[in-house]
Amino acid sequence: MEFGLGKEYKRDPKVQARIKTAIDWLEGKTTEELLNEPIGNKVIADGVELRFQSYDTREYATMNYETHREHIDIHYMIQGAEWVRWADAGTAEPVADYDPEIEIQFFGHPKRHSKALLTDRHYAIFDPCDLHAAHGIVDGKVSHNRKLCVKIDVN
């Protein structure tokens, strides 16, 4: 699944090439190979960083939304299931100032949002204009996930 505003589908060719690099790398690996990658960060190309994660899902009420200014997020579920939610930037109030050091800003819940279920080998792409919240529990039960967040530099 890819999500974005209509104006976002015409990406800079360099950014589109980085996304293709990431997707090609992911599709060239088996689930077992991805699960064997160590938790943490791995740069695979200029402007393409993989962040392997292991965590428990959580209740929507405990989440903040986030945005980034300098990169696109690709949330790629290796193994597990979670709800990801998104809304347009400007539809929620910030709960923290933008932190350029870690390149993130947190927001409260928007009045309306969309959501998608990420399961094994599914992904969602969030542009800098997308508020997004991940790690949402499915069917009211906390579960453990192995996921990859790919950071695509937009500069």
Q: Could you tell me the residue ranges of all domains in the chain?
A: 6-153
Task: Count Cβ atoms below 10 Å from residue 29 Cβ, excluding itself.
Answer: 14
Q: For domain 6-153, give its CATH number from 2.60.200.20, 1.20.120.80, 3.20.20.70, 2.60.120.370.
A: 2.60.120.370
9-20 per-position pLDDT tens digit: 667 899 999 999
C-alpha–C-alpha distance, residues 70 and 60, integer Å: 26
pTM of the model: 0.91
The mean of the pLDDT values for the chain is 93
C-alpha–C-alpha distance, residues 155 and 152, integer Å: 9
110-152 per-position pLDDT tens digit: 999 999 999 999 999 999 989 999 999 999 999 999 999 999 9
C-alpha–C-alpha distance, residues 124 and 4, integer Å: 10
Q: Which residue has the tokens 């109030």?
A: 93
Residue 33: alpha-carbon gap to chain centroid: 20
